[in-house]
Chain A
Amino acid sequence: GENVEQHPSTLSVQEGDSAVIKCTYSDSASNYFPWYKQELGKGPQLIIDIRSNVGEKKDQRIAVTLNKTAKHFSLHITETQPEDSAVYFCAASPSSNDYKLSFGAGTTVTVRA
């Protein structure tokens, strides 16, 4: 099955700086890579996703890059703000199963004011 590794497990950044979270996956058949943000006491919420036919996607201060050859993808948050403090999860899904997401272990991001 798919194995997703995520680093770092914790990340502390100064407000206004950038944050980068990296994930690797094991199943070369995976073709969908979403990122979820989980705020304290809430369920995860999709913030951005990328499919295997593109290498980069951007949405305002958030961008995701994908390297299929190396089987890794990254989340970049620029100009971080206190409300970006949360746990972020990467995930991967194989093309053979539209329903199944394998999640990384999560990164706790703290933005210092």
Chain B
Amino acid sequence: DTAVSQTPKYLVTQMGNDKSIKCEQNLGHDTMYWYKQDSKKFLKIMFSYNNKELIINETVPNRFSPKSPDKAHLNLHINSLELGDSAVYFCASSQPGQGAHNEQFFGPGTRLTVL
């Protein structure tokens, strides 16, 4: 069973297009995340939702809009794609509880290439 899944795995598109990446987790977690990993492998958090509520919104262009239809899904929509958006995007989920940090489970990643 895949714990955190993302679709598509690869996405190649032209500059200026709009695209979406979908994420689903079957772990029953309340919290989901989107990370961006650049070509130098640097991992940076973009957004986090807890029970469909946005709790982390880092300095990300407003062309990026996350949507959480329910707590098992967190999708990422990107408008007007730019060359600098090329990266691997990871979805993750966790179940923090009562002041204790817990493991974040990552999906396999979506490699976005903007031409």
List residues of A whose CB falls within 8 A of some B CB. Answer: 32, 34, 36, 38, 41-46, 49, 51, 87, 89, 93, 95, 97-103, 105-106, 108
User: Which B residues are in CB contact (< 8 Å) with A44?
Assistant: 43, 90, 106
User: Which B residues are in CB contact (< 8 Å) with A106?
Assistant: 41-43
Is A99 touching B41 in the complex (CB atoms < 8 A)?
no
Whole-angstrom distance between the alpha carbons of A104 and B56 in the complex?
Answer: 19
Whole-angstrom distance between the alpha carbons of A51 and B55 in the complex?
Answer: 23
Is A100 touching B90 in the complex (CB atoms < 8 A)?
no
Task: Count A-B contacts at CB 8 Å.
Answer: 60
B111 (CB) vs chain A CBs: closest residue: A41
Is A43 touching B107 in the complex (CB atoms < 8 A)?
yes
Is B101 touching A103 in the complex (CB atoms < 8 A)?
no
> B75: CB under 8 A from chain A?
no
Interface hits, B71-115 → A, CB 8 Å: 90, 92, 94, 96, 99-104, 106-109
> B25: CB under 8 A from chain A?
no
Is B50 touching A99 in the complex (CB atoms < 8 A)?
yes
Is B41 touching A101 in the complex (CB atoms < 8 A)?
no
Task: With A45-B106, A99-B48 as known contacts, state yes or no: A105 contacts B99, CB within 8 Å.
Answer: no
Is A99 touching B96 in the complex (CB atoms < 8 A)?
yes
The 4 closest A-B pairs by CB, nearest first: A43-B106, A32-B101, A98-B96, A103-B43
User: Which B residues are in CB contact (< 8 Å) with A34?
Assistant: 101, 103-104
Is B42 touching A42 in the complex (CB atoms < 8 A)?
no
What is the CB-to-nearest-CB distance from B94 to chain A, in angstroms, rounded to a whole number? 7
Is B101 touching A87 in the complex (CB atoms < 8 A)?
no
Is A49 touching B103 in the complex (CB atoms < 8 A)?
yes
9 sampled A-B residue pairs with Cβ under 8 A:
A34-B101, A34-B103, A34-B104, A42-B108, A43-B92, A49-B101, A97-B56, A99-B55, A101-B45
User: Which B residues are in CB contact (< 8 Å) with A87?
Assistant: 41
